Amino acid sequence: MMRRGGAKVASLLLKSARPRLFSTATTSTIRSMSHETTSHLLKPAASMNTWIWSGPGGVRFASTASSGEKTPSPKKTEDDESSTGGNKGIASYWGVEPSKITKEDGTEWKWNCFRPWETYKADLTIDLSKHHVPTTFLDRLAYWTVKSLRWPTDLFFQRRYGCRAMMLETVAAVPGMVGGMLLHFKSLRRFEQSGGWIKALLEEAENERMHLMTFMEVAKPKWYERALVITVQGVFFNAYFLGYLISPKFAHRMVGYLEEEAIHSYTEFLKELDKGNIDNVPAPAIAIDYWRLPADATLRDVVMVVRADEAHHRDVNHFASDIHYQGRELKEAPAPVGYH
């Protein structure tokens, strides 16, 4: 009885599913097709990187990514190779292609790490002598933490200010990213705006990273200096992450003092350049485009604009700490977006 009942159920299911599974094709037709070669059933699509299945049930599409089939890529012309500098372009099924951007004079924009609308002229009139006098316990803790970090840096780099700047920027680019990331998640958790502070802090991190990209062209770090960067960045990131979670006002105050020390370091850098102890080489091309410097700019011009950037970061972080000291949140005060 159980066998007969099961056979009836299976027969009913087969009858109801047959139109969907086999469309108008009969089982005998399908059986006969299984003895024929099926190579003609797979046809490459002319306009897309897929294969078209034209078997029973109509036309269907199968992605080559899952089947492991390789689609022959179109041949590159000489014009295509010349436009990419001889490098082979990356073909994408998804149609994602980088846009071609030109400068104002019509020449090709060569940088992918930043765009023309992200460039600016540094404000060199900013007051470099401003200093926040520590008054509270957290202020003193932040101040002496930065001072204690300066001692081993002076001992290791001494007067090699190019390598010192490279090391400084790998650390200085961490706080903005950590603060922006934590504010980003806070905004998501609380379903609230950030007052622009996420963007402002991430802008700071990106600006510091561009400092590093510039000094990488000037100072070629040795292997042990690269190893030191990895070690210091790993320790500093985790320490600052925990510090920001515990007390944002302490974290921002410490960055403010860190930027004050950066101003001092770049001032010493300029003195060595003026004395002739460091060659005043031509400015790297990336710096000329990023800060809109004149074509004949030198390393001294680069140090000047970088020092001005650090002064702006000093003001932003001391301002952020003051907001927290007043018992308010950053979102309550408009963020200085675009304030380099």
Give the helix/strand (H/E) hosting 51: strand 50-53
Q: Which pLDDT does position 270 carry in this prediction?
A: 93
Tell me how far apart the alpha carbons of residues 262 and 270 are, in angstroms, rounded to a whole number: 12
Annotated binding site for Fe cation: 169, 208, 211, 259, 310, 313
> pLDDT at position 53, please?
38
User: What are the boundaries of each domain within the chain?
Assistant: 139-146+160-330
Phi, psi of 251 (to 5 degrees): -65, -45
- CB within 8 A of 325, min separation 6: which ones? 136, 249
Alpha helix ranges (H) inside the chain = 2-22, 27-33, 64-67, 78-83, 137-157, 161-190, 197-218, 223-246, 248-275, 285-290, 299-325
- Own/partner contacts of 228-237, CB < 8 Å, gap of 24 or more, are 228/156, 228/167, 229/166, 229/167, 229/170, 232/167, 232/170, 232/171, 233/170, 233/171, 233/174, 236/171, 236/174, 237/174, 237/178
What was the pLDDT predicted at 296?
A: 94
Residue list, annotated binding site: 169, 208, 211, 259, 310, 313
pLDDT at 267: 94
User: How is domain 139-146+160-330 classified at the architecture level of CATH?
Assistant: Up-down Bundle (1.20)
Q: With 0.85 as the threshold, say if the pTM is over it.
A: no
pLDDT, tens digit, 9 for 90 and up, residues 2-28: 455 556 655 665 565 555 444 444 444
Give the residue ranges of the chain where pLDDT is below 50: 2, 20-86
